[in-house]
Amino acid sequence: MTNVTAITGFILMGFSDIQELQTLCGVLFLVMYVAAVISNLIIIILITIDLQLQTPMYFFLKNLSLLDTFFVSVPIPNFFVNSLTHNNSISILGCVFQVFLMSTFAAGEVFVLTAMSYDRYVAICNPLHYDVIMNEGTCVLMVSVSWATGALFGAIYTAGTFSMPFCGSNMIPQIFCDIPSLLRISCSKTLVVIYSSLGIGVCVGISCFICVAISYFYIFSTVLKIPTTKGQSKAFSTCIPHLTVFTVFIATACFIYVKLPSHVPSFTDRFFSVLYTVLPPVLNPVIYSLKNTDVKCALRRWQQNLCQCFSFH
């Protein structure tokens, strides 16, 4: 932090120099943000109040929705305000908080998704011992470790990023502060610290990917042995949403963080960064609700209870 003295703040370039287009993008992302927050909050409320959703799978889904809500709430409201006020400046401290929070919630989401794959593995491959293995204490421990490890990675990435000196240009070619954009404007000749921390993150991400892949190898092997098509379809219906969410999140993250940063900012980099930020929180509730009978039934019960309350009053 003591090295960040050559500049007093950053300027977020956004998508366009044209104010009208910037405002239009801000409104568009605000609509997507509101949709993401509302849909995730509905999932959180349903799982909290519906007794039939008090299972480990939905406990993990509830935490995933919490992480999605926090994750998308870090950059988008700030971008919307900036697009309306046409003031794209952000303080160094504000940039530090954005990097820390987004890294924390992104890492936490990866760990929760990995825990969800293990939950599906136990449920399908070892159903007789499911209640014993995935008891309440185990689920709380797995989620707590996911949140804590996410915060640890967020602190490591933030410390590594802001240990570099920044001088010269303070223009960040993005709508929010992220590590690849900050690497572009660093005047450090050696990026050993940040690349070391990113390397650790990539190794952990690959480890999580391998764990998920192994889980689904055994899951698919077990499902294909089920004699009835109905049984196979029911088993797949609980796995495909999770696998889809994990694939979308990892694919967009890899495009941004695995490739080396270029000194020439491109529209593609900005687009995929926003896609990585907004798309999973918007899609996750849709994926889990459209193909999930339990969630749809819980939503109908909630609607019926609300209608009864209003009709009673």
Q: What is the mean pLDDT of each run of 10 residues along the chain (313 residues)?
A: 58 74 81 91 89 88 93 89 82 90 91 92 90 92 94 87 76 81 72 66 83 90 82 76 81 65 59 76 80 77 73 59
Asked if the structure places residue 13 within a domain, the reply is yes
pLDDT at 259: 56
Asked if the structure places residue 298 within a domain, the reply is yes
pLDDT tens readout for residues 85-107: 878 888 888 889 999 999 899 99
CATH number at residue 29: 1.20.1070.10
pLDDT at 25: 79
- Contact, 29 vs 273, CB < 8 A? no
Asked if the structure places residue 2 within a domain, the reply is no
pLDDT at 67: 93
In Å, how far from its chain's centre is CA 260? 22
Asked if the structure places residue 1 within a domain, the reply is no
pLDDT at 105: 93
> For 299, what's the count of Cα atoms within 13 Å in the CB-facing half-sphere?
16
Q: What's this model's pTM, rounded to 2 decimal places?
A: 0.86
Structural tokens at position 141: 């421990």
The CA distance from 172 to 11, in Å, is: 6
- Number of folded domains in the chain? 1
Asked if the structure places residue 58 within a domain, the reply is yes
pLDDT at 181: 77
Asked if the structure places residue 118 within a domain, the reply is yes
Asked if the structure places residue 212 within a domain, the reply is yes
pLDDT tens readout for residues 131-172: 999 999 999 999 999 999 999 988 988 887 887 777 767 888
Burial 251-270 (b: 16+ CB within 10 A, else e): ebbeebbeeebeeebeeebb
Of 115, 111, 40, the closest CA to residue 72 belongs to 40
Asked if the structure places residue 3 within a domain, the reply is no
pLDDT at 89: 85
**Domain membership of residue 127 as a residue range:** 9-312
